[in-house]
């Protein structure tokens, strides 16, 4: 487990880019936090680090998922509007894990134990306010337990 202070939006973007360097096929990054905490900003930093700096990275709130060809390929899911965990089958979450990595905003919508069932190799990132900035609480499972020790932000 690691706590990382994030002074501003640029720091959140840098954290995303640092996480991208560690991401592998079959892994899940679970982004937790209230509305406006920076989940999409962190996701944008990660995706741009895997693709190209000017990649258009809209929040997938209305489409539920956006796919990006990176190394590894990444699927960005926003489950905010998901009403029933059963809908996960319909949007291709498990298939995305077979071919790449997944980034999931609002993972609590997966239901009880949803993150554990997705991948044994996952990172849970919780963003919350910390004075004028934010703080990221990172908890790694499986391969990510070791990767957190190697993370340079």
Write down the mean pLDDT value for the chain: 92
Residue pair 80/61 in contact (Cβ under 8 Å)? The answer is yes
Name which of 133, 135, 151, 131 is nearest 143 in CA terms.
Answer: 151
Categorize the per-residue pLDDT at 98 as very low, low, confident or very high, splitting at 50, 70 and 90. Answer: very high
Position 5 pLDDT exceeds 90: yes
- CA 152 to chain centroid, in Å, comes to 17
pLDDT tens-digit readout, 64-86: 899 999 999 999 999 988 877 77
**49-53: average pLDDT:** 96
**Mean pLDDT of all residues in 85-114:** 85
Domains of the chain: 2-150 (3.40.50.300)
Contact by Cβ (8 Å): 39, 18:
no
State how far the Cα of 59 lies from the Cα of 80, in Å rounded to an integer: 11
């Amino acid at each position: 487990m690691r706590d990382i202070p994030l002074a501003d939006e640029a720091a959140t973007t840098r954290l995303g880019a640092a996480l991208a360097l560690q991401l592998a096929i079959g892994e899940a990054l679970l982004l937790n936090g209230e509305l406006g905490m920076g989940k999409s900003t962190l996701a944008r930093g990660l995706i741009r680090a895997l693709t190209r700096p000017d990649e258009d990275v809209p929040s997938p709130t209305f489409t539920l998922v956006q796919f990006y060809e990176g190394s590894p390929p990444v699927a960005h899911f926003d489950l905010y509007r998901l009403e029933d965990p059963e809908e996960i089958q319909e949007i291709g979450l498990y298939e995305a894990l077979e071919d790449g990595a997944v980034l999931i905003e609002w993972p609590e919508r997966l239901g009880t134990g949803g993150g554990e069932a997705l991948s044994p190799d996952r990172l849970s990132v919780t963003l919350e306010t910390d004075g004028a900035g934010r703080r990221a609480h990172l908890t790694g499972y499986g391969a990510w337990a070791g990767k957190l020790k190697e993370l340079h932000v």
